[in-house]
Structure 1
Amino acid sequence: MSAAAIEPIDLIDYVVNQGNGVKGLSKLGLKSIPKQYIQPPEERLDKNQVIHEESIPIIDVSNWDDPRVVESISEAAGKWGFFQIINHGIPIEVLENVMEAAHKFFELPSEEKKKYLKENSPTQTVQLKTSFSLAEKVLEWKDFLMHFYFPNDESVQLWPSVSKDQVLEYVNCAKPVIRNLLEVLLKGLNVKELDKTKESVLMGNLIVDLMHYPKCPNPDLAAGVGRHSDISSITILLQDDVGGLYVRGTGPDQWIHVTPVKGALVVNIGDILQIVSNDRYKSIEHRVIVDERRDRVSVPIFVNPADDVLIGPFPEVLQNGEKPIYKQFLFPEYFNFFFSKGPEGKNTMEYVKL
């Protein structure tokens, strides 16, 4: 099948309904990508905007109680919105196993993978998707398997056998790291305790994705992920050695490549933490560029609020008379608005501003 032969309806049928995904397109040996994946010039990464002299901080968290760790993380959250952590305590084999499981899932035959499309999946806690959403104007060069994680949920037994155990092991190892990160970040806001209420606001739900960005014949024209900030409180990202994650720099129109560090986790501040901090911490635009020669895999854990808690600036942040920038809202409202359209940088936050 040539690129020219793929009409919009045929493309959706081939990629989505038949379960081939972008992985299937990549295997067709196309010389050029279908037009539906070609980003407009203004949304392509201009290599002249990439700043090679700067990088996001790498923070050793072997001692979470060290005041220097608190200071480094709070400073990175306010200035960069991104940092990497090392010596976090998750065994390297756990990280390698979940990455290998991601590769194995996306190497499955399409008939096997399509069992996990939303309309076919044995449970709605695992769903195979492609692109960002099919509502966007230009499709993204990626496939991903979403896992909605709830403690003691028996539906995990219906997750794909090729990756289920590895995903669960990784999540269970990551949960104490997530809690430690949030406790440190709250200290930077003079919030003394991650109590039950704040726990619901900051880590009420977890979503774990196995992300797969197949090799692409025209990486300069496509996007693995377009410009966006995450709607989570924080996101913990495990990335392979292919690279391709770029974050917005501190200067205008600057982008910084997040160089992979073996065993490290990339942490980024999401919109929710920017909102509860009343802009003390920053959720930063980032994007993913695909590769011509290699498939890229990453495993983000999106740490989200519970569905039934009101979100707004924390009282501790406003106690000195500071005016709130954001209204109160429920997370599902924000989540649904975000996924009703394609990535639009940080425009989603305008939706909840006062």
Structure 2
Amino acid sequence: MLAQQLLSGCSRPRHILRHLRCTARWKHTTLAEDVRSDATFRIPLIDFSAFRIASSFSEKRRIADDIVNGFKEVGFVYLTGHGIQPKTIENVYTKSAEFFKLPESVKDQVAWDDPRANRGYVKVGRERVTQSSDAVEIAALREKAPDTKESMEIGRDWDPVWKNKWLKESDVPGFKNTMLRFFQTCHELHMVIMRSIALGLDLQEDFFDNKIDQQYHNLRLLSYPPIHTKLLSQAGQARAGTHSDYGTLTLLFQDSVGGLEVENPHTKHFQPAPPIPGTVVVNAGDLLARWSNDTFRSTLHRVVAPAARKISETGGMTPHRQSIAFFCNPNFDAVIESLPTCVNASNPSKYPPVTTEQYIVGRLAATYN
């Protein structure tokens, strides 16, 4: 139904039509075959309601297999039928926009200051996401080409040590309650997706439940301000640089502007991941890839500038973009070691055990200044 709705309008952007033309080939080719060519590359579109409300184990297993196959071959999936109401997402966007419109001096009152907490406001240019783990190299990248975005980071609000940073209620009325409700909503979706992954990996459906129930997640509100195209044309510059995510899953809610690109794991070329109304983009992160002994891909991705509005004979201005990312993490004391169904005599474990906290905090400490 979604594909039919999108295809019914002749004014749809070409990249969306291209994506949907690829979906029409699903009956004739496999995902593994399609992703080996840039011309047929696709991110699978999965109706997750069939898992959430399934009346039989076989139906749940069918969807679980589709999700696991998507993470094996691409590292990304689109989910419809995820259960989060459009009005809920729209309200989060509204409150996020109200926050970012505040004066810099007000937002700086809740500035991000500690990778262990990972909470607060991050101004434009302070973050430089990258695959590098070298502090000197990251500092040089940040100086030369910082990410052209600002963000607000929110964690679990009841943490006994690390507290969220909230402005006064009068600054953005309803902001705190809106974000905390959405945090819980995303956590619940994450739990169900992880149950589907467990089934797809031949584990008990509740295998991950007690390893991800403490909600050590990060809700990130993102604002990409308009920027002159000449600034984005400089070497190494991007709205958000090439990177993979750190945790288990990322739930990404895109606005209509677009700009997300995903690396084809086979050709190493970046392909658009256009916004599809009503969907959540879900990708596997580094810890889930490590947990699965690289059965899953933690795929590189980036955010580039969409088509710009011409403002002179020599340049243009990109539109403002909003997105909402929910970074799902295991419990911080969870030991991440290869899952029993992902190792055997011919495929031994590739990684030593590590706790979530050791991995996440180390990556965050190198990312920010």
**CA–CA separation in structure 2 for the residues paired with 1:203 and 1:263:** 28
User: Which residue, 182, 190, 201 being the options, matches 2:194?
Assistant: 182
Choose 300-309 or 139-148, whichever is displaced more. Answer: 300-309
SS of corresponding position for 2:202? coil
Asked if residue 54 in structure 1 is aligned to residue 48 in structure 2, the reply is no
Matches within 5 A, 1:228-247: 228-247=243-262
Matched, 1:297 2:322: yes
SS at 2:210 equivalent? helix
Aligned to 1:318: 343
Cα shift readout 1:175-203 (whole Å, capped 9, x = no counterpart): 221111101111121111334x7632587
**Is residue 2:366 matched to residue 1:337?**
no
Q: Match for 2:150 among 138, 143, 149? A: 143
| 1:53 positional shift | 4.6
Counterpart amino acid of 1:232? G
Confirm whether residue 69 of structure 1 aligns to residue 94 of structure 2.
no
Who is 1:213 aligned against?
A: 224
Matched with 1:253 is 268
Contact 2:223 2:321 in 1 (8 A): yes
Q: Give the partner amino acid of 1:209.
A: R
The answer to whether residue 248 in structure 2 is matched with residue 268 in structure 1 is no
Distance 1:273 1:299 in 2: 21
* Superposition deviation, residue 143 in structure 1: 0.7
Q: CA deviation at 1:136?
A: 5.1
- How many angstroms apart in 2 are the aligned matches of 1:320 and 1:168? 45
The aligned counterpart of 1:105 is 99
Distance 2:213 2:289 in 1: 11
The normalised TM-score by structure 2 is 0.71
- Residues 148 and 68 from structure 1, CA distance in 2 versus in 1: closer, same or farther, beyond 3 angstroms? same
Structure 2 unaligned segments of length 5 or more: list them: 1-36, 129-137, 307-316
Cα offset for 1:276? 1.0
| Equivalent residues of 2:254, 2:275 under 8 A apart | yes
Change (3 A) 1:319 1:52: closer
Range with bigger deviation, 67-76 or 51-60: 51-60
CA–CA distance in 2 between the matches of 1:230 and 1:91? 25
What is the alpha-carbon distance in structure 2 between the residues aligned to residue 152 and residue 341 of structure 1? 23
Q: State the superposition RMSD in angstroms.
A: 2.8
Q: 1:279 maps to which residue?
A: 294
Deviation at 1:267, TM superposition (A): 0.1
In 2, distance between residues paired with 1:227 and 1:184?
A: 28
Distance 2:342 2:186 in 1: 28
1:216 is displaced (CA, Å) by 1.2
1:310 CA drift (Å): 1.7
Instruction: Quote how far apart the aligned CAs of 1:320 are.
Output: 6.2
Seen in structure 2, the aligned counterparts of structure 1 residues 201 and 171 have a Cα distance that, compared at 3 Å, is: closer
Tell me if the contact between 1:74 and 1:188 (Cα under 8 Å) persists in the aligned partners: yes
Percent pairwise identity:
24
Q: Report whether the alignment pairs 1:307 with 2:332.
A: yes
- Partner of 1:223 in structure 2? 238
How has the CA–CA distance of structure 1 residues 203 and 290 changed in structure 2, closer, same or farther, with 3 Å as cutoff?
A: farther
User: How far, CA to CA, are the matches of 2:72 and 2:284 in structure 1?
Assistant: 9
In 2, Cα distance between the equivalents of 1:157 and 1:119? 10
Q: CA deviation at 1:332?
A: 2.6
Deviates more, 1:89-98 or 1:109-118: 109-118
Tell me the equivalent position of 2:28: none
Distance 2:210 2:303 in 1: 30
Instruction: Give the Cα separation in 2 of the matches to 1:179 and 1:340.
Output: 27
> Once the 2 structures are TM-superposed, how far is the Cα of residue 204 of structure 1 from its aligned partner?
4.5
User: Residue by residue, what CA displacement relative to the aligned partner does 1:191-246 show, whole Å, maximum 9, x if unpaired?
Assistant: 11334x76325875110000111111023333111111111101111111110000
Matched-pair contact (CA < 8 Å) for 1:156–1:164: no
- The TM-score, its normalising length taken from structure 1, stands at 0.74
CA distance in 2, matches of 1:319, 1:253: 29
CA deviation profile, 1:109-164 (whole Å, cap 9, x unmatched) = 122111111359xxx67311134258352311111111112558795694564222
